[in-house]
Amino acid sequence: MKLSKGWIALIVIVGLIFVLGTWMSGTYNGMVTRDEAVAKAWSQVENVYQRRADLIPNLVKTVEGAANFEKSTLKEVMAARASATSIKIDPTHLTESNIAAFQKAQDGLSSALSRLMVVVERYPELKANQNFLELQAQLEGTENRITVERGKFNEEVNTYNNVIRHVPGNILAPMFGFEKKGYFQAQVGAEKAPGVSFDFGK
């Protein structure tokens, strides 16, 4: 049975629609997968930063027990902690400006902790306090995890941004609301944990 030109044209159109639909579906699902990977990595970043924030009240309480310890330093740490924990970012709004604001607040807390550890140098009883030493070790571990999780987050964001900015993702991304996400920026001269030193010259 010989098909008419009309039927042939219809089959071709249906075939093209099927191919186009398959392509769009595959591209969309790929972008969703990368977007979910970024959200998961962001969750891990929040977890390690929250872990650090949770350790600080105990650290401050322990340090307060030292005779004549500088209260202004402790107030500065708690104020920086309050600022850092006040910033929450929805995974769907990980823009460059939001990430920068989050990082600035967290770096402020890192700086306050660094100044606290400098002051601790003047209090030998703290450096011999078992509770303080345990908190110090936990904070060191947490700072290392922060560096690791920030690196993983940046890797996921890089993959996601590449997907939505290259063909075919750049064609469909605007249609479905996939936008470029922000990165954590490297600190000047910081290839290690973000700005907190707990080395007492051991």
Top-confidence residue, 26 or 140:
140
* 3-class DSSP string for 49-90: HHHHHHHHHHHHHHHHCCCCCCHHHHHHHHHHHHHHHHCCCC
Q: Measure the CA–CA gap between 149 and 174, rounded to whole angstroms.
A: 29
* Average pLDDT of the residues in 10-39: 86
Q: Give the side-chain half-sphere CA count within 13 A for 132.
A: 20
Buried b (16+ CB within 10 A) or exposed e, 93-125: ebeeebbeebbebbbbbbbbbeebbebbeebee
Percentage of the chain with pLDDT > 90? 67
Fold of 5-176: de novo design (two linked rop proteins) (1.20.1440)
Q: Where are the domains of the chain?
A: 5-176
Entry pTM: 0.84
pLDDT given at position 85? 96
- The 10s digit of each residue's pLDDT in 63-102 is 988 877 888 999 999 999 999 999 999 999 999 999 999 9
pLDDT over threshold 50, residue 202: no
- Relative orientation angle of helices 71-86 and 5-64, to the nearest 10 degrees: 160
Residue pair 149/46 in contact (Cβ under 8 Å)? The answer is no
Q: In this model, does residue 5 exceed pLDDT 50?
A: yes
What's the CA gap between 39 and 94, in Å, rounded? 9
